Structure 1
Amino acid sequence: MYNVLKLNKIAAIGTDRLGADYSCADSVENPDAILVRSASMLDMEFGSNLLAIARAGAGTNNIPKDKCAEQGIVVFNTPGANANAVKELVLAGLLLSSRKVVEGIEWAKTLKGNGDAVGKMVEKGKSQFVGPEIMGKTLGVIGLGAIGILVANAADALGMKVVGFDPFVSVPNALRLNPDVTLLKSAEEVMTSCDYLTIHVPLTPETKDMVDAETIAKMKDGVRILNYSRDGLVNADAVLEALKSGKVAKYVTDFGNDKLLCEENVIVLPHLGASTPESEDNCAVMACDQVKEYLENGNIINSVNYPAVSLPRSGDKRICVMHKNVPERISDALSGVTVVGMLTKNRGDYAYTIVDVKGDADADKLAAVDGVIKVRVL
């Protein structure tokens, strides 16, 4: 029996897939796995039984990934599960940034109580909300992962010229990109060539404040910037100054802070990117499937702190070894064991090895190897 702790509400369509061998609840002592959405785990202490944490979503800034790696705890996320939901909201943001829809709605509310005069007042006042069409304009997309590609392809279908950049774009993602989308050589080249800019990258020390006073100064006058990725990618002070000068025409973000709220030409949404029932279901299913596969078979899919390692089962037993990047020591410890399948991969300083054997293997001998963090026998 595996015990699974839920720190947030996780859709039953996901947890039901775990099956009868799992106890999944909001309060669990020393769980084998944790399912989480937005709850902060940064100050949590983890029990010795904990093997996996699955974030039902893409971002993992609420999880101490390095600490988990040191303790042999695999952290999973669910990339792509909420991609369509975010894509749709980005498309809404493109239109909101152009057509002054929000301002028009708020103004229309002020006409309440004017009876039959409302129609004439609307016709007289609507010119103050004129805004350009997006068709024929250039959209710059920085980050061509699961979300960025959907956004780029959708904008292309709407008649926009789309340029993009991603230094780490995968071959499968590149093949999904519409051929009309132009790939540029740098993020700066994208920023300087677009009328609309949307960012879809993780927040790291390298990407923090990637849109700041210096980069904004190189952009087109009247550029419209959208941030549905992470707070901290766009420097709030810089964008507010650029809005005052007219350098930036509009800033739309899913991540509000006190500086941005109620500012002219800023549209702040309350982190609605993945807030659809379909997205929540997709994330729950992917998170639970990944946890189940790891706990039962040792295969790692979509981890953010350990390498992706999957091996079809063979032999009598499977040994799973979390270790520092010293695979030769693992091989030495298996001397005399009949190995029928083995796969090792590393991610930075950490590595993971799956070994299928005939007969028994001395797990204690493996655990005693310098650099080994955790050993499981399945």
Structure 2
Amino acid sequence: MFRIKTLNKISPAGISVLDQTRFQISGDVENEDGVLVRSADMHEYVFPDALRAIARAGAGTNNIPIDRCSEAGIVVFNTPGANANAVKELAVCALLLSSRRIIQGNAWLREQDAAGAAVEDVVEKGKAQFVGPELSGKMLGVIGLGAIGVQVANIATKLGMTVFGYDPFLSVDAALSLSRLVHRAMDLETIYKNCDYITIHVPQTPETKGMINTDAIHMMKGGVRIINLARGGLVNEDDILEALESGKVASYVTDFPNRKLMAGKNVVAIPHLGASTPESEENCAVMAAQELRDYLENGNIKNSVNLPTLVQEWSGISRLCVIHRNQPGMIASLTGVLSKEGVNVENMTNKSKKDYAYTIVDMGSRIGDSVADEIRALDGVLRVRVLNH
């Protein structure tokens, strides 16, 4: 039986994916084979020897120590696209909030009411301070055309916006899903210089951290409106606050509030609601559980952030799953051990992702512990698992 530890409350729809006769699921299990997590911080998490996989019910994995997982031969999964519709809908809301000063107007009305004013009488006199532009006819720049960015770009065209999308790593699937009305920007400068609204939908990496900073803002149009529902660290807070104060940026809508931002001028802060819908939480939990189950039961990897996608149909009695460094001679060393031990290989697939690689070998007979131990001893091997069909 596989032991699965839950570090956050996971939707029952996700838990139901895991057969209770094969999986023990609890927040209290020890020496767990897998972890289901949402936002819990795992950077100080002590990995038990049995831990083989971590599935994040969501897209971002900043709460997981990816490098440490890779070195330990632990697969880290996420759930790209499972929350895309929820974030897309919030992005539309954010576009409107950045323009129409709805939140500010509501707060003003409540102040008037609390002061005893006749709300019906003060509305017409006070509403001018909350005037804001329409979206139709304006230019929107979408930075990042993944599952979420594509949906945001597409729906913005239906709102009458001229949309530019930028993503140097645009996948084939994303390109096929992108509306023909969306213009491809070949560089960020095109977005910065031309767009009235800019929305960010990229992961936070060393390359993207602080990408919206003084230099980027300097290239933007006066009165630009910036939306960040992706990760707080993508925007340099000191630089955006300075730009808001000067009026260079008319509004900043963020899903990642803190005390510094709350004190800023024209900041619309949302309490991290991007994926906070029942539908999104269910979709993420189901996808995460499916990924975890398929890896533990079959060795298949899909939607991993640290290892390559590799899905292989069973074609033997036993399956050897090897996580190893992406280095020359690795496959020759592995097959050399199997050949020496007289193991018949039915099928073998190898895929790599940057510094790491993954190999699945289906064999026509069961192999003993001694063969697996011999492979574990090879230079560059990080994790070996043997599954029996």
TM-score category (smaller protein): over 0.9
Whole-Å separation in 2 of the counterparts to 1:106 and 1:174:
42
Give 1:235-246 correspondences, 5 Å limit: 235-246=236-247
Partner of 1:265: 266
Structure 2: runs of 5 or more not aligned: none
Deviation at 1:113, TM superposition (A): 5.9
Partner of 1:358: 364
Counterpart residue identity of residue 334, structure 2: I
Whole-Å separation in 2 of the counterparts to 1:201 and 1:114:
44
Whole-Å separation in 2 of the counterparts to 1:116 and 1:261:
27
- Counterpart of 2:332 (choices 328, 332, 341) is 328
Give 1:60-209 correspondences, 5 Å limit: 60-112=61-113, 117-209=118-210
Structure 1: runs of 5 or more not aligned: none
Deviation at 1:365, TM superposition (A): 2.4
Whole-Å separation in 2 of the counterparts to 1:87 and 1:35:
25
Deviation at 1:17, TM superposition (A): 1.1
Deviation at 1:258, TM superposition (A): 1.9
Contact 1:223 1:247 in 2 (8 A): yes
Cα shift readout 1:207-230 (whole Å, capped 9, x = no counterpart): 111111111011001000000000
Partner of 2:383: 374
Partner of 1:14: 14
- With over 3 angstroms needed to count, the CA separation of the structure-2 counterparts of 1:116 and 1:105, relative to structure 1, is closer
Whole-Å separation in 2 of the counterparts to 1:156 and 1:314:
47
Whole-Å separation in 1 of the counterparts to 2:230 and 2:254:
9
Structure 1 stretches of at least 4 aligned residues deviating more than 3 Å after TM superposition? 113-117
Counterpart residue identity of residue 2, structure 1: F
Give 1:178-327 correspondences, 5 Å limit: 178-325=179-326, 326-327=330-331
Deviation at 1:263, TM superposition (A): 2.1
Deviation at 1:140, TM superposition (A): 0.1
Counterpart residue identity of residue 111, structure 2: T
Partner of 1:343: 349
Deviation at 1:114, TM superposition (A): 7.4
TM-score by length of 1: 0.98
Identity %: 57
Counterpart residue identity of residue 379, structure 2: D
Task: Name the SS of the counterpart of 1:14 in structure 2.
Answer: helix
Deviation at 1:171, TM superposition (A): 0.6
Contact 1:163 1:182 in 2 (8 A): yes
Whole-Å separation in 1 of the counterparts to 2:272 and 2:114:
34
TM-score by length of 2: 0.95
Q: Aligned Cα RMSD in Å?
A: 1.2
Task: Name the SS of the counterpart of 1:17 in structure 2.
Answer: coil
Cα shift readout 1:172-192 (whole Å, capped 9, x = no counterpart): 100100000000111221111
Task: Name the SS of the counterpart of 1:329 in structure 2.
Answer: helix
- With over 3 angstroms needed to count, the CA separation of the structure-2 counterparts of 1:176 and 1:355, relative to structure 1, is same
Task: Name the SS of the counterpart of 2:60 in structure 1.
Answer: coil
Deviation at 1:322, TM superposition (A): 1.0
Task: Name the SS of the counterpart of 2:294 in structure 1.
Answer: helix
Task: Name the SS of the counterpart of 2:126 in structure 1.
Answer: helix
Cα shift readout 1:230-279 (whole Å, capped 9, x = no counterpart): 01111111111111111110000001122110322111111110100000
Whole-Å separation in 1 of the counterparts to 2:115 and 2:149:
45
Counterpart residue identity of residue 343, structure 1: T
Task: Name the SS of the counterpart of 1:259 in structure 2.
Answer: helix
- With over 3 angstroms needed to count, the CA separation of the structure-2 counterparts of 1:97 and 1:116, relative to structure 1, is closer
Contact 2:244 2:264 in 1 (8 A): no
Contact 1:308 1:345 in 2 (8 A): yes
